[in-house]
């Protein structure tokens, strides 16, 4: 029979004749060329042991494609029949070599010590560390090895390195697996595999590297290599058992875990080398010259800007320092999980010890918040002072790994952080700026600000981003990114260009479509300035699939701005901070964490350097907590509070008095009921005053809205909500089928992203024509009324005179208050916290803010009848977080991190910033009335005249499969802008499914309200639950 490893079967194809992928246009793509190119990009044959292993991994990662069955498929793509995976072959061959080398030399320390104090070289291959090549794949001279750091061991080959790199080879096209006692090739490997490969050709290839870690020890022939693979199986199991034995020791203290073992550096290098070799991409960095030019443009832009508030020009207190920073909290366009996002916003609240009611006199504000006749405060000058002082503090300590910046909303902290980041790129070797925001709306606004003031192009990455094709380097060019449901692209600003470079394709690989290359640039964050959502940042540090690791190298020597971290779940925050500390230590990354409400910093091994400075801005609002304990405030029999009618009466009265007013409720059902009550009340007033009579608007005097009378102000809390009747016996009724008043807008999470964008744009136009165009104030004559869930807390730059907030938890109160007199142009606004009572007398707050400790600490501070200035509230937040952190159990990061370091990557893989909540079903809403204007051209690209045509393409058998990867992503990105994730019960009632398709289609278009989205269904479900029909939905909502 002969040796099973030396031949037989169907024979093999010489390695020199094997291809990496099907020929195109008569051009062949040799497999050996691809293996050499990936090896060159991944490692260094003359570098550290780890770099040598990565070079070997590059040579073997696609060795399985040399099998005859794979070559037959590649050379005849139409050939039928399964081929099976190929990556396990390279993993087995690699492990067979490496474990023999370990057995001869001893395993060394079972930890990642191969870098000897060289953190960043672990992230990029040799030759790409000293600088980025202008273009092309020409070979780059390896950087000289670094000298060992005193006190640290010499680089050694370790068992863990071998295990990790072997696993990475096996997973380089799939899910990142754990290090288990059985090797990743177990169950696939048979003697017949090598029988159909030119193993001796592979052996000649790897031996030509003359790796120092091999010490001259190589298999004699194919049969010898096969026996080494057999021996590697038992060696693998023993090595994993030894590694797992360290788990118990690491659980005690995260500081005892080797930081390098928490990161997927080797994974990232191998995956990036493979993908970039195919696409011909080269890493891109922000140069000091570009940073210097951007700083100059930013200073000129902010110094020359004189914004005009046309709606209240008499104030004379323009901000002068550019758009305000982006806020946070609440619901999102990113994941469209509004109800669950609401609970994340304030899951970390604690309490204050200050007595209420002491700060109003300090700020010179009367109980009604009046500042009439006050000299306007120079907000522009204060912002400039804050930026200069923060920059001075950074320059005094430019090499700290982590910084914190606490500034109130509207004080310009986003632009301040950007200025610090540019300084770090100019003077401290940072090569990229990565802005991380909680939601799509926040990311889009920050990117727009940065582009406007610096001229640098910003590459955005979120679930709706679709880059323009062909992002090749061009003079003065920039990559285009379709903004999905958010703001449309601004024009490319003149000034320093920072376009992702792609370079020429490798001669070993085909040129992918320009669209595929554009998506690869976006997914790998290969641009000097990148703006991403929390979800994408978490996928970088806690990748699930190999493709997620593509973005890891972009964090090397990057300056990361993490905005609004207070909405991250406590356990996720503890794990994230530990991983960021590890990235700072090993990838030479710097992090600036900024917010108005900073959560505690858990890691003990690194303490952040605080860049915060005292703020001299006057209190822009006064917070008042309604005292519902009085008899007149008992709107329900079960507990005191306001019902929908009582809140609607106050909102309408304020709007008629000239106040721009908003109400933020805790659930979509509550917001829908209040919205209906507001429309009903306006219809009632129309019935009293005549259908053709416009409302009498409030009179604006001295640049400020009039203070409401006792009927519309504080005095109205002394009466219950009343129903005003149109005739002797019957009240006027508002039918949701009618248009309703055009002065009221509803925003919540059961709307498509496109619909929410339409609502927010319209609201911006109402509030400030200078921001949104010429639409201006609502035609009805009353000031605008916004009713929303936490969507208005999520980075939306809106400005109200009065803001009512159903009691949440304290951080959510602060974030909501940031929408009141946001730019400080007027006298102090009023922010009113009240208890909301549903028609059944229940409180929906615990359903959303499920952390009882957070609610308890919030209530300890927000005592009924108290008033607080903005400054008092800001100071109290620190104490809130401290008390909450002391009382809150279960956010220890040691266990998951130790498990991950010991090989159980699944302990942290896929960690997300928020609790995902119950699963939801995506439903496509093909209503052309809600089509964004900028999406009409996108429809035409697919020869679709309507959204319904778009969905038909989605259903057409084989149509998506026939598109390139980039085309599929662009198509699905457009489709998902008109998708609402809904609970199963709702999807079952309103949508139809199709075999093999994840996204359902709305059947009855009237089921989606053009104003309210699926909000009425949510309300109806809650109402029916009171009758015992749909009780399951109550817990979901």
pLDDT at 528: 93
Write out the E strands in 350-450: 402-406, 432-437
| Long-range Cβ contact pairs of 360-368 (< 8 A, separation 24 or more) | 360/622, 360/867, 360/869, 362/869, 362/871, 363/618, 363/619, 363/622, 363/828, 363/869, 363/871, 365/619, 365/622, 365/827, 365/828, 365/869, 367/714, 367/867, 368/707, 368/713, 368/714, 368/830
- Predicted confidence at residue 916, as pLDDT, reads 67
Contact 485, 505 (CB under 8 A): no
Closest CA to 619 of 328, 365, 353: 365
* Structural element, H or E, at residue 745: strand 744-747
CA dihedral (802, 808, 811, 815) positive or negative: negative
Question: CA-CA distances (angstroms) from residue 324 to 332, 411, 416, 456, 848?
Answer: 19, 7, 11, 19, 29
Token pair recorded at residue 487? 């703001």
Best mean pLDDT range from 140-144, 302-306, 712-716, 844-848: 844-848
Q: Where are the alpha helices (DSSP H) in 428-569?
A: 440-454, 514-523, 534-541
pLDDT band of 254, cuts 50, 70, 90: low
Position 253 scores a pLDDT of 57
Q: Which of 273-282, 326-335, 775-784, 899-908 is predicted least confidently?
A: 326-335
Q: Strands 432-437 and 558-563: what pairing?
A: parallel
Nearest to 86 by CA among 105, 68, 104, 109: 68
pLDDT of amino acid 689? 53
Q: Is the pLDDT of residue 228 over 90?
A: yes
Write out the H or E segment, with its range, that includes residue 581.
helix 570-587
More confident: 287 or 888: 287
Distance CA 54, CA 58 (A): 6
Task: Quickly state the pLDDT bin for 705 (edges 50, 70, 90).
Answer: very low
3-state secondary structure of 747: strand
pLDDT of 1024 over the 50 cut: no
Collapsed DSSP state (helix, strand, coil) of residue 749: coil
Instruction: Find out whether 408 and 870 touch, Cβ atoms under 8 Å.
Output: yes
As a whole number, mean pLDDT of residues 191-195 equals 87
Scanning 208-328, the segments in alpha helix (DSSP H) are 222-244, 247-251, 265-279, 288-304
DSSP character at residue 454:
H
Q: Helix 810-817 crosses helix 338-345 at what angle (to 10 degrees)?
A: 100
Q: pLDDT tens digits for 550-583? A: 999 999 999 999 998 988 888 899 899 999 999 9
**In 3-state terms, what secondary structure has residue 151?**
coil
Widest Cα–Cα separation across the chain? 106
Residues 6+ apart with CB under 8 A from 537: 434, 436, 562
- Structural domains in the chain? 15-129+153-279 (no CATH), 346-356+618-695+705-718+745-889 (3.40.50.300), 412-471+515-614 (3.40.50.300), 919-1036 (no CATH)
pLDDT at 256: 67
- DSSP SS3 for 497: coil
> Of 15-24, 626-635, 960-969, 987-996, which gets the smallest average pLDDT?
626-635
Check residue 963 and give its pLDDT: 82
270-288 burial, b if ≥16 CB within 10 A, otherwise e?
bbbbbbbbbbbbbbbbbbe
Q: What is the average pLDDT score of the chain?
A: 75
User: Where is average pLDDT lowest: 158-162, 730-734, 909-913?
Assistant: 730-734
* pLDDT score at 84: 74
CB-CB neighbours of 824 under 10 Å: 28
How does pLDDT run across 706-724, given as a tens digit for each residue? Answer: 333 333 333 322 222 323 3
With cut-offs at 50, 70 and 90, classify the pLDDT of residue 250: low
Res 106: pLDDT: 54
For position 907, what pLDDT does the model report?
Answer: 92
Which residues are registered as beta bridge partners of 831?
Answer: 623, 803
Region of poorest pLDDT, from 138-142, 875-879, 903-907:
138-142
Starting at the edge strand that comes first in sequence, how are the strands of the sheet with 785-788 ordered?
A: 744-747, 785-788, 661-664, 802-806, 829-834, 621-625, 867-869
pLDDT at position 261: 78
Is pLDDT at 976 greater than 50 in this prediction? yes
Per-residue pLDDT, 251: 53
Residues 6+ apart with CB under 8 A from 971: 942, 953, 954, 960, 963
Q: Decide if 788 contacts 1012 (C-beta within 8 A).
A: no
Query: Could you report how far apart the first and last alpha carbons of the chain are, in Å?
Result: 69
- pLDDT, mean of residues 923-951: 93
* C-alpha closest to that of 760 among 739, 732, 788, 783: 788
Nearest by Cα to 344 from 599, 696, 166, 672: 599
The mean pLDDT value for 938-955 works out to: 93
pLDDT confidence of residue 85: 87
Residue 857 and residue 351 in contact, taking contact as beta carbons nearer than 8 Å: yes
Q: Exposure of 329 by Cβ count < 10 A (0-12 exposed, 13-18 middle, 19+ buried)? A: buried
Residue 553, CA distances (Å) to 30, 121, 264, 900 in order: 27, 10, 10, 20
3-state secondary structure of 820: strand
The yes-or-no verdict on residue 728 having pLDDT over 80 is: no
Beta strand 867-869 pairing with 621-625: antiparallel
Q: Give the strand order in the sheet containing 921-924.
A: 979-982, 921-924, 1000-1002, 991-992
C-alpha 94 chain-centroid distance: 36
Q: Is 69 a residue whose pLDDT tops 80? A: yes
Percent of the chain whose predicted confidence (pLDDT) is above 70: 70
Mean pLDDT computed over 973-997: 90
User: What Rg, from alpha-carbon coordinates, does the chain have?
Assistant: 31
Indicate if the pLDDT at residue 868 is higher than 80: yes
Predicted structure pTM score: 0.73
- Model pLDDT, residue 247: 64
Q: How confident is the model at residue 1005 (pLDDT cuts 50, 70, 90)?
A: very high
- Residue 647, pLDDT > 70, answer yes
> What percent of the residues of the chain are helix, what percent strand, and what percent coil, each to the nearest 5?
45, 10, 50
Residues 992 and 1003: beta-carbon distance below 8 Å: yes
Burial 854-892 (b: 16+ CB within 10 A, else e): bbbbbbbbbebebbbbbbbbbebbebbbebbbeebeebe
Angle at 1029 between CA 1026 and CA 1034, to 5 degrees: 55
User: Distance between CA 941 and CA 922 in Å, rounded?
Assistant: 24
Percent of the chain with pLDDT over 90: 41
* Rama region for 1028: left / alpha / beta (φ>0; ψ in -120 to 50; rest): left
Q: Is the pLDDT of residue 229 over 80?
A: yes
pLDDT value for 507: 36
- Mean pLDDT, rounded, for 6-28: 77
Specify which of 23-37, 501-515, 960-974, 1014-1028 reaches the highest per-range mean pLDDT: 23-37
Average pLDDT over residues 907-921: 85
Give kind and range of the element (H or E) at residue 716. none
pLDDT of residue 978 exceeding 90: yes
With bands split at pLDDT 50, 70 and 90, how would you rate the model's confidence at 408? Answer: confident
Q: Does an H or E element contain 9, and which?
A: none
pLDDT tier at 367, thresholds 50, 70, 90: very low
Q: 834 forms bridges with which residues in the sheet?
A: 806
Q: Which of 67-76, 762-771, 863-872, 963-972 has the lowest mean pLDDT?
A: 762-771
Maximum mean pLDDT: which of 289-298, 409-418, 495-504, 781-790: 289-298
DSSP H helices, 619-667, are 644-656
282 compared with 900, residue with greater pLDDT: 900
* In the predicted structure, residue 1035 carries a pLDDT above the cut 70: no
Strand, helix or coil for residue 325:
coil
Residue keyed to tokens 């009498």: 696
The arithmetic mean of pLDDT across residues 974-982, rounded, is 93
Arithmetic mean of pLDDT, 297-318: 50
Determine the pLDDT at residue 376.
Answer: 53
What distances in angstroms separate CA 534 from CA 216, 541, 686, one per listed residue?
A: 48, 11, 46
The Cα–Cα gap between 407 and 611 comes to: 10
How far apart (Å, rounded) are the C-alpha atoms in residues 959 and 963? 7
Beta strands 661-664 and 802-806: pairing type? Answer: parallel
CA distance 123 to 552: 8
Q: Are strands 621-625 and 785-788 parallel, antiparallel or unpaired?
A: unpaired
Q: What single string gives the DSSP state of each residue in 786-801?
A: EEESGGGGSS----BS
Q: What is the pLDDT of residue 150?
A: 42
Confidence at residue 943, expressed as pLDDT on a 0 to 100 scale: 92
Strand locations in 372-473, DSSP E?
Answer: 402-406, 432-437, 459-461, 466-467
Q: Which has the minimum average pLDDT: 35-44, 507-516, 521-530, 676-685? A: 507-516
């Amino acid at each position: 029979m002969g040796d099973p490893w030396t031949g037989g079967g169907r024979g093999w194809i010489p390695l020199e004749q094997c291809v990496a992928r099907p020929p195109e246009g008569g051009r062949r793509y040799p497999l050996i060329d691809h293996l050499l190119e990936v090896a060159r990009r991944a490692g260094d044959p003359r570098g550290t042991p780890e770099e040598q292993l990565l070079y070997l991994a590059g040579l073997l990662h696609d060795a399985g494609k040399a099998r005859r069955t794979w070559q037959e498929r590649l050379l005849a793509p139409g050939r039928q029949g399964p081929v099976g995976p190929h990556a396990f072959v390279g993993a087995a061959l690699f492990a067979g070599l490496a474990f023999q080398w370990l057995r001869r030399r001893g395993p060394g320390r079972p930890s990642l010590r191969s870098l000897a104090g060289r953190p960043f070289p672990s992230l990029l291959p040799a030759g790409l560390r000293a600088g980025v090549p202008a273009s092309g794949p020409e070979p780059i001279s390896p950087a000289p090895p670094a000298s060992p750091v005193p006190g640290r061991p010499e680089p050694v080959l370790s068992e863990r390195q071998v295990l990790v790199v072997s696993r990475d080879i096996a997973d380089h096209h799939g899910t990142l697996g754990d290090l288990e006692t059985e090797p990743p090739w177990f169950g696939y490997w048979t003697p017949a595999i090598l029988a159909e490969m030119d193993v001796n050709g592979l052996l000649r290839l790897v031996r030509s590297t003359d790796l120092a870690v091999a010490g001259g020890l190589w298999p004699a022939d194919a049969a010898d290599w096969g026996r080494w693979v057999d021996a590697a199986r038992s060696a693998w199991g023993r090595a994993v058992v030894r590694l797992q034995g360290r788990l118990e020791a690491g659980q005690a203290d995260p500081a005892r875990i080797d930081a390098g073992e928490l990161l997927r550096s080797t994974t990232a290098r191998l995956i990036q080398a493979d993908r970039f070799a195919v696409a011909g991409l080269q890493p891109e960095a922000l140069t000091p010259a570009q940073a210097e030019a951007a700083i100059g443009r930013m200073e000129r832009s902010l110094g020359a800007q004189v914004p005009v508030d046309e709606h209240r020009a008499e104030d004379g207190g323009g901000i002068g320092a550019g758009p305000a920073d982006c806020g946070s909290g609440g619901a999102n366009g990113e994941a469209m999980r509004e109800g669950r996002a609401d609970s994340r916003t304030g899951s970390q609240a604690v309490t204050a010890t200050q007595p209420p009611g002491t700060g109003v006199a300090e700020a010179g504000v009367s109980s009604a918040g009046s500042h009439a006749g006050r000299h306007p405060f120079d907000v522009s000058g204060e912002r400039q002072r804050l930026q200069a002082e923060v920059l001075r503090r950074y320059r005094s300590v430019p090499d700290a790994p982590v910084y914190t910046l606490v500034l109130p909303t509207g004080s310009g902290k986003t632009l301040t952080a950007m200025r610090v980041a540019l300084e770090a790129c100019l003077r401290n070797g940072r090569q990229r700026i990565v802005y991380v925001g909680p939601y799509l709306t926040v990311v889009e606004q920050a990117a727009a600000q940065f582009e406007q003031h610096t001229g640098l192009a910003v590459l955005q990455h979120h679930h709706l981003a679709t880059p323009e094709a062909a992002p090749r380097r061009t003079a003065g060019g920039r990559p285009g990114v379709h903004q999905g449901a958010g703001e449309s692209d601004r024009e490319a600003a003149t000034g320093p260009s920072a376009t992702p470079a792609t370079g020429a394709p490798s001669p070993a690989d085909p040129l992918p479509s320009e669209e595929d290359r554009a998506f690869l640039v976006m997914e790998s964050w290969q641009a000097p300035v990148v703006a991403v959502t929390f979800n994408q940042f978490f996928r970088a540090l806690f990748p699930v699939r190999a493709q997620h690791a593509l973005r890891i190298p972009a964090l090397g020597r990057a300056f990361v701005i993490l905005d609004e971290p207070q909405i991250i779940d406590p356990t996720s925050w503890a794990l994230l901070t530990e991983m960021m500390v590890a990235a700072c230590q090993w990838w030479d990354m710097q992090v600036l964490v900024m917010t108005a409400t900073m959560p505690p910093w858990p890691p003990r091994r690194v303490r952040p350097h605080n860049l915060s400075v005292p703020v001299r801005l006057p209190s822009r609002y006064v917070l008042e907590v309604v005292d519902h304990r009085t008899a007149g405030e008992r709107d329900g029999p079960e507990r005191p509070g306001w019902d929908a009618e009582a809140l609607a009466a106050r909102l309408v009265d304020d709007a008629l008095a000239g106040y721009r007013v908003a109400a933020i409720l805790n659930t979509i059902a509550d917001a829908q009921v209040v919205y209906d009550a507001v429309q009903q009340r306006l219809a009632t007033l129309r019935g009293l005053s005549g259908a053709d009579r416009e409302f009498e608007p409030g009179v604006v005097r001295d640049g400020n809205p009039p203070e409401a009378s006792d009927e519309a102000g504080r005095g109205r809390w002394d009466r219950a909500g009343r129903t005003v009747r149109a005739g002797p016996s019957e009240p006027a009724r508002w039918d949701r089928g009618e248009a309703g008043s055009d002065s009221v807008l509803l925003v919540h999470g059961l709307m498509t992203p496109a619909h929410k964008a339409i609502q927010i744009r319209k609201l911006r136009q109402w509030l400030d024509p200078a921001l949104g165009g010429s639409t201006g104030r609502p035609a009805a004559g009353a000031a605008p009324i916004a009713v929303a869930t936490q969507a208005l807390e999520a980075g939306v730059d809106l400005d109200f005179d009065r803001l009512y907030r159903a009691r949440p938890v304290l951080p959510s109160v602060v974030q909501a208050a940031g929408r009141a007199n946001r730019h400080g142009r007027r006298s102090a606004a009023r922010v009113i916290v009240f208890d909301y009572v549903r028609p059944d007398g229940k409180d929906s707050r615990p359903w959303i803010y499920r952390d009882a400790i957070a609610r308890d600490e919030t209530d300890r501070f927000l005592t009924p009848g108290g008033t607080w200035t903005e400054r008092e509230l800001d100071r109290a937040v620190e104490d809130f977080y401290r008390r909450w952190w002391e009382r809150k159990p279960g956010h220890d990061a040691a266990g998951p991190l130790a498990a991950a370091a010991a090989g159980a990557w699944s302990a942290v893989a896929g960690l997300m910033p928020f609790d995902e909540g119950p699963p939801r079903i995506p439903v496509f809403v093909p209503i052309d009335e809600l089509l964004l204007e900028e999406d009409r051209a996108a429809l035409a690209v697919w020869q679709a005249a309507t959204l319904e045509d778009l969905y038909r393409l989605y259903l057409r058998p084989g149509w998506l499969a026939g598109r390139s990867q980039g085309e599929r992503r662009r198509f699905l990105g457009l489709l998902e802008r008109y998708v609402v994730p809904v609970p199963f019960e709702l999807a079952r009632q309103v949508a139809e499914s199709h075999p093999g398709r994840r996204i359902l289609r709305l059947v009855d278009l009237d089921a989606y309200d053009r104003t309210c989205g699926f909000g009425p269904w949510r309300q109806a479900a809650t109402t029916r639950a009171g009758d015992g029909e749909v009780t399951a939905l109550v817990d979901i909502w």
